[in-house]
Amino acid sequence: MKLKYWLLFLCNLVLLLVAYIITPILPAFAELREGPSDNGTKTELGYYLPDWLFWFSTNEDNPLGGDTGWRTEHCPKNWDNYLGMVLWLYRNPLSGFCRSVLAYAPENETYVLEHSGRSFDIDKSREGDGYFLVTSNTGRWHYRLVKSFWKVRFCYESGWQLDVYMKNIKQPVAPFIPPFPVARIRR
């Protein structure tokens, strides 16, 4: 399974380079329509990429203007214009590809959780350092490590998003998570 993961990662890497290059022109193809917003909790009239550009979307549960956190905390002055749309797409590029082509649909799997004492509480947006590793009986895994140094929080994640299945959240597929570290300044 690890060899397959690295082959999927290489495929993702090639398309990620394409995504970084074309992201500034993607908002030109946006369609104004009714769709999911605020992480799928409601619907709104907003700009969304057309279906044929789904691979390059950030998430299927928000318009190109982002979610409430993006609009109020991260990009309050530009979320509703071209710059905000481009930044939103750069925030999580190629997510549609990771959630469709590279994802898999877990069926009747069992999971084992190993963690540093905080279980799933470690997250890119919450307090707390540590790690967790979820492994499935099919050989897939989900690893997350969060470590803070001074005012910078580093998060490394790889595998497939399996933590939601351990939390009993129903999802049709487990998205692929490419192994890229993320750093955030803590406030």
pLDDT in tens, 75-111: 899 888 999 999 999 988 888 999 889 999 998 889 9
76 and 133 belong to one structural domain:
no
Which tops the pLDDT comparison, 65 or 151?
Answer: 65
Residues 67 and 140 in one domain: no
Burial of 169 (0-12, 13-18, 19+ CB in 10 A): exposed
Is the residue at 147 inside a domain? yes
**Domain range for residue 140?**
111-185
Residue 21 has what pLDDT?
Answer: 96
Specify if 104 maps to a domain: no
Question: Largest Cα–Cα distance of the chain, in whole Å?
Answer: 46
Q: Specify the length of the chain in residues.
A: 187
| DSSP β-bridge partners for residue 136 | 111
More confident residue, 150 or 182: 150
Number of domains in the chain: 2
Give the contacts of 8 (CB within 8 A, at least 6 positions apart): 102, 176
- How far, in Å, CA of 102 to CA of 163, rounded? 17
Percentage, residues of the chain above pLDDT 90: 43
**Mean per-residue pLDDT over the chain, rounded:** 87
Global pTM reads: 0.79
- Please indicate, yes or no, whether residues 76 and 118 belong to a single structural domain of this protein: no
Among 70, 99, 128, residue at a domain's last position: 99
**Co-location of 81 and 139 in the same domain:** no
- What does the block give as tokens for 10? 């290489």
Residue 97: partners with Cβ closer than 8 Å, 6 or more residues away: 12, 15, 55, 56
Q: Please state the rounded mean pLDDT for residues 157-184.
A: 83
